[in-house]
Every structure is written in structure tokens, then in C-alpha cells.
Chain A
């Protein structure tokens, strides 16, 4: 069993439906997307509820752009990062549009819950939000 990380900490995976590999079926409710996918061509069908983007290595940042592009294309369903994501990358994942991160037990043991919750404040101190929506603090 893998572990699901959200702002509240660790929880077991509560998604019970099958997750279909991208390209296998067009009417899936849940899609698995590899890190080399082109987000412009991922079909966003009506019934699609969850997209899971793979992070093969913590040094591979493509998933962050894939998430952002999916959100810009209008995907409002559940967006999940899965794989070698570090606690230090949790804020990046959330800010890029992911809702949650799925990690292995082994990674969860090495990077326990408190290290992830340390970044649950990802909405704060965010230059991107400030540049797009907020009023400058200093006029």
C-alpha cells in the first residue's frame, strides 16, 4: 500500500477505481500519465475524475509543468503526483496544481509526516500568487 500526502498529513489511498494508462482507453475515470507526456494532448473527457502524474526521480521536474498545463486547460478533477517526490517538493506540487502526493512506504519511513506537514503552509510566501492576484504590499 502506498501513502497519500495532503495538507493534513498521511492517509491511506482512498481511490478504489482502476487507473488506466494514458493511451489505453479514452473514457477512463482515472488516468496514469508518464513524465514524458505532452499535456496538450491528454484527453480531458467528461467522466475523467483523477489524473496521476509519475515522478520517476525527484530531479525530474516535468510533472510540475504537466500539472500546471492540465489546470490551465481546465481540468478541475483530482490531480495526483506519484513516485519520487520529496517533502521539500510538496509546496511545488501543490502550487503547480496537484491536490495530493502518493509515495511509497519506504519513502514515508525516511521522510516522516512532520517533514511534509512543515510545508502544508504552501499558500504562504508564494511569489506566483502575489504576481498574479495580490496587490503589492508596498505602493
Chain B
């Protein structure tokens, strides 16, 4: 794992001192709120419905036990004893006070963490595959490149006041777990004729106008990465629209100017910028790569795992849903569900954070990950340790066996916290999970991704949910629209709106009708919801959602 160089540490210390001064200048009147707002946003500080909110970056979703302990300490000292893990591999504190924030940032700096560029119209926290460095299907670990991009984008003097926010994701696996096609720039690590490089995708994004990203460069040599990224963002900075916030994202720039025109501008700019990069960045990348050297995996029997699996149904159920194949023999990737039925998706108490940190330290080569699906990953656990890990997790309310199932719901904070939201998301997620737990149906239903956003900005990724739910304000009442058939993987697809929305009371029964229809319609138990939808299309699901319409038409 990456640990800060003296340079990183000195930079962060200076930056935190600057923010401390900015807070004081806001309070003493030197800065107006209009001037202070972009500066606080650049440091991750929002003002939400009930309070300030501090969004802390967990770069490419990777952290160690010491860092997780610090997140827990911060939650206890300056917040309400919990944190919310987000769809962008960040953690949010919902209740900080303005004057405390500089101290919180200093505390984060003690463990090589910060909240820089987790908000604002700038390049945001770089995200990556949460199974990076562990997954059996991986070509290369995307995190060294993500770290290089973190350094390049941090405090980049040209790109702190872009037309709009800018998100970059990297994956090193052909099975895309980083949703690269829904980012402003998506990078897929590929090789061509034995040479390592990237497929560069541009102009993807969800939000008001969802778009699947387009390939701007099929193969970009590794050493060209930073100048090429710089060329894209530089062109966007000048060309992106500043007259309309809703048309300011790069997806609109690419759409309005056309991919070919945009590409030509980028290539021209790239030619100007490329000579600036003399190879020092590649030396730095090599040094970073050395820090991400895989741990020394042990060769040990897995009989303890096999025995527990045979004798304990609860363990077997958890092992069957929450484990993913590891590249090393005898190891597994553990996904710790932050989706206990009825709980707030993505929330962890400080005690839970500490437990996960301690388990990572003891059994997991001191590594944890945060997934964009709002769960915590222990990427390297030997199978013989899994029974102990499971027992400890289960005792702390973290043993829910539901990863990838209907109750493993992504939900944004929605109108319970967010100033932009038009409806609540959390209670809908809680109720769906609780309902299907009552029905004891979720293991029978199998893989199904429900994603809920509380407004059109789509932080809850509803467009790419197999079932997407979008909360809106319809004439002063919460209203929920359903989209079907979205997909966040390498086969990314935007879901189709099923029809009129439902009230908060009617949305849970509507989801139940939809899922029961799937159980009736599937060709065999192994056919997933998404497969059934793709085979049959929208109509039979629509009929289940709107039975009265069918009755009227008959």
C-alpha cells in the first residue's frame, strides 16, 4: 500500500494550514460565502440540510487498519459515532461544526488521508476496482496508476475551477467493477502486442442526462497517460459550457461537439503537452508500484473452512454470497455487508469500523477496501481464517449474507441529509430490505442490483441498477420512478423507465410485484433478473407494475 512521501506530507500540512486560514477568513469577513464556498468544497466540506458534511477521500477505495481506526476516532470525537461510506469510495461525516473541520483534517493527515477534491468543480477522488490486487480475473493492479493520477490531479493549478465536477475511474480487470463507462474519464488497463496501456473512455456519466462513455483512444501507451489526461481536461476546461450547470459536464461537451471533433482537439493539445513529461512521472509510477507489491501469501490447509462450511448453515450461506475468488490459492476476498436488513446502506458505527480494522490487521494483511456498492472489503483473507472472521463480524451486526442480492442496495443519502435531494432514499432501501427478509425470498431471487437515488443527479446510480429507483418531488409529495434493465458492468446499459412513478407507500409493493413477476417468468432458477429482462423486454414487467392499466385495456 502507498504511504506518503515527505513531499505528500509537507503538501498536506501546508494545504491544511491554508484551509484553517480560509475558515478564519470566512469567519472574520475577508471571504464572502460565495468566495468561501468553492474553497470549502475543494476541501470536501458541504453545507447540507441539517448541518455541515465532510466528505473524506479514500483514494481508489484502499485503506489500512490504522486509517480505519482514525476514521472511527474522528466519528467519535467530532461527529455522532458513525460514518457513511458512499458510492464514490468516500466516507461522509454528517454532523461536523465549521470550526472543528480544520482539526478533523489534521487528524486525517496523521494517517495520510485528506478530503481534498472530494467536491467542487475539479477532478474528484479517483476510484478503482475494489478487488484490485486480489481478484483472480485481473490483468494488472490499477491502484498504482490511480495513485499517480491522485498526485497529478491534486491541487492541479489549471483544473480547480472547471465547468463542472470531473470523475476518473480505473479498472485493471476485463470484468468492470469500477463502472468506468459512467465516468467523465474511464481507464481500462489493456495490453497490445505485449505493451501495457489503456483504453481511454470519455464522456460517460449518470445524472440528468445519462450517457455511456465513448472510446476516445483504443490504446494509449502507459507513458502517455498523464499528458493525455491533461489534454482532455484542458480542452474541456475551455470548451465545456459554463452558461448552464446542467450542460456543463464533459459528456455534454463531447455530445455537442461530436467525438471526432473533441478527439482532434485533444490530440492537438496532447502534442503540445507531451514534451513536458520527460519520464519522471514514470519513475514515480515505478516507485509507487513497488509499494503495492502483493503481500506474501501463506500456503496452508483450508480444512477449517471446508469443515465450517459443511457444518454451519449460516456460515455456508455467508460464504456462498460474500466471498469472491482470490488470485492466490487458499485465499478469498471477503465482502463485509454494510446492508444489514433495515439498516442504512453504507453506514458503519465507530465500533464496527474498529472491528473491521482489527480483523484486517489480524487476518487480512492489514488491508481494507471500500466498494462503490457501499460495502467494506477484506481483500486478502486465508480461507482457514474465515470462520473466525465470520463469527466476529456476525457478533457485530456485520455478518449479513446478502452481497449481490436484493437487499444489498445502493442508496444515496437522499433528503434525509442532502440539500440537493428531491425525495428520501434511505427509508425506501430499509423497507425493501426488510420486506424481502420477511418473505425469505432473497436467496431464491439471486443476483439483483437495486440502486436508489434521491434526485436526478443519480449519486445512487439508479440508471445502472437492474432495478433503479429515482425519488422525485411531484407537487410536494415524494414520488418514485422505476427504471429497469440498467447494468454497471463492462456491458454497461442505462435502464428504461417503466412508467409513472409510485408514492412512498406504493413503491415497496410495486417492487414486490416486479420481483414476483420475475420469479414466474424466469426460464430456470439460474436465469437472473437481468437475463430474464433482456430475454423478455419491458412489457411483462410493466404489466406486473401496472396491473390496473392492463385491466383497463382488457
A and B in contact, CB less than 8 Å? yes
- Mark A residues whose CB is within 8 Å of B: 38-40, 58-62, 64-66, 68-69, 72-73, 86, 88-89, 91-96, 110-112, 115, 118-119, 121, 124-128, 130-139
Task: Please name all residues of chain A whose beta carbon is closer than 8 Å to the beta carbon of B242 when the two chains form the complex.
Answer: 60, 62
How far apart are the CA atoms of A58 and B160 in the complex, in Å? 11
The answer on a CB contact under 8 Å between A138 and B287 is yes
The answer on a CB contact under 8 Å between A88 and B22 is yes
Per-residue CB proximity of B13-43 to A under 8 Å, as 1/0?
0110010011001000111000100110000
**Sampled A-B contacts (20; CB under 8 Å):** A58-B38, A58-B161, A61-B161, A62-B238, A64-B158, A64-B237, A69-B234, A93-B157, A115-B21, A115-B25, A118-B18, A124-B14, A125-B155, A126-B155, A127-B156, A130-B151, A131-B280, A132-B276, A132-B280, A138-B287
A131-B272 CB under 8 A given contacts A58-B35, A61-B237, A96-B158? no
The answer on a CB contact under 8 Å between B157 and A92 is yes
The answer on a CB contact under 8 Å between B7 and A66 is no
How far apart are the CA atoms of A135 and B30 in the complex, in Å? 39
Residue B154 interfacial (CB < 8 Å): yes
Among B6, B15, B237, B281, chain A packs the most CB atoms within 10 A around the CB of B237
The answer on a CB contact under 8 Å between B35 and A86 is yes
How far apart are the CA atoms of A91 and B158 in the complex, in Å? 11
Residue of A whose beta carbon sits closest to that of B276:
A132
Residue B419 interfacial (CB < 8 Å): no
Task: Please name all residues of chain B whose beta carbon is closer than 8 Å to the beta carbon of A136 when the two chains form the complex.
Answer: 5, 280, 283-284, 287
Q: How far is the CB of B146 from chain A (nearest CB, A)?
A: 15
Task: Please name all residues of chain A whose beta carbon is closer than 8 Å to the beta carbon of B22 when the two chains form the complex.
Answer: 88
Residue B47 interfacial (CB < 8 Å): no
Among A60, A89, A111, A136, chain B packs the most CB atoms within 10 A around the CB of A136
A61-B284 CB under 8 A given contacts A88-B39, A111-B30? no
The answer on a CB contact under 8 Å between A66 and B14 is no
The one of A58, A61, A94 in contact with B159, judged by C-beta atoms closer than 8 angstroms, is A61
Question: Which bracket fits the contact residues of B?
Answer: 35 or more
Q: How far is the CB of A45 from chain B (nearest CB, A)?
A: 20
How far apart are the CA atoms of A83 and B30 in the complex, in Å? 17
Task: Please name all residues of chain A whose beta carbon is closer than 8 Å to the beta carbon of B5 when the two chains form the complex.
Answer: 136-138
Q: Which of B128-159 contact A (CB under 8 A)?
A: 151-152, 154-159
Task: Please name all residues of chain B whose beta carbon is closer than 8 Å to the beta carbon of A40 when the two chains form the complex.
Answer: 268
Among B6, B29, B238, chain A packs the most CB atoms within 10 A around the CB of B238
Q: How far is the CB of A74 from chain B (nearest CB, A)?
A: 10
Residue B441 interfacial (CB < 8 Å): no
Q: How far is the CB of A39 from chain B (nearest CB, A)?
A: 8
How far apart are the CA atoms of A96 and B161 in the complex, in Å? 13
Total A-B pairs, Cβ < 8 A? 121
Q: How far is the CB of B40 from chain A (nearest CB, A)?
A: 11
Q: How far is the CB of B495 from chain A (nearest CB, A)?
A: 34
The one of B121, B160, B161, B226 in contact with A131, judged by C-beta atoms closer than 8 angstroms, is B226
Residue of B whose beta carbon sits closest to that of A88:
B39
The answer on a CB contact under 8 Å between A65 and B158 is yes
A135-B234 CB under 8 A given contacts A72-B273, A124-B14? no
How far apart are the CA atoms of A124 and B21 in the complex, in Å? 18
Q: Given contacts A69-B234, A136-B284, could you give 6 more A-B pairs where the C-beta distance is less than 8 Å?
A: A64-B157, A88-B18, A88-B39, A127-B11, A133-B278, A134-B280
Task: Please name all residues of chain A whose beta carbon is closer than 8 Å to the beta carbon of B162 when the two chains form the complex.
Answer: 61
How far apart are the CA atoms of A26 and B14 in the complex, in Å? 43
A130-B272 CB under 8 A given contacts A61-B159, A64-B161, A88-B22? no
The answer on a CB contact under 8 Å between B151 and A131 is yes
A133-B280 CB under 8 A given contacts A125-B14, A138-B5? yes
Task: Please name all residues of chain B whose beta carbon is closer than 8 Å to the beta carbon of A89 when the two chains form the complex.
Answer: 160-161
How far apart are the CA atoms of A99 and B291 in the complex, in Å? 38
Task: Please name all residues of chain A whose beta carbon is closer than 8 Å to the beta carbon of B246 when the two chains form the complex.
Answer: none
Among A62, A69, A126, chain B packs the most CB atoms within 10 A around the CB of A62
How far apart are the CA atoms of A53 and B259 in the complex, in Å? 29
A96-B21 CB under 8 A given contacts A127-B152, A138-B287? no
Among A64, A65, A133, chain B packs the most CB atoms within 10 A around the CB of A65
How far apart are the CA atoms of A62 and B276 in the complex, in Å? 20
Residue of A whose beta carbon sits closest to that of B283:
A136
Residue B297 interfacial (CB < 8 Å): no
How far apart are the CA atoms of A2 and B388 in the complex, in Å? 70
The answer on a CB contact under 8 Å between A92 and B160 is yes
Residue of B whose beta carbon sits closest to that of A111:
B30
The one of B25, B155, B161, B237 in contact with A59, judged by C-beta atoms closer than 8 angstroms, is B161
How far apart are the CA atoms of A138 and B283 in the complex, in Å? 10
Residue B10 interfacial (CB < 8 Å): yes
A132-B277 CB under 8 A given contacts A59-B161, A61-B162, A138-B287? yes
Task: Please name all residues of chain A whose beta carbon is closer than 8 Å to the beta carbon of B30 when the two chains form the complex.
Answer: 110-112, 115
How far apart are the CA atoms of A136 and B151 in the complex, in Å? 12
Task: Please name all residues of chain B whose beta carbon is closer than 8 Å to the beta carbon of A119 when the two chains form the complex.
Answer: 18
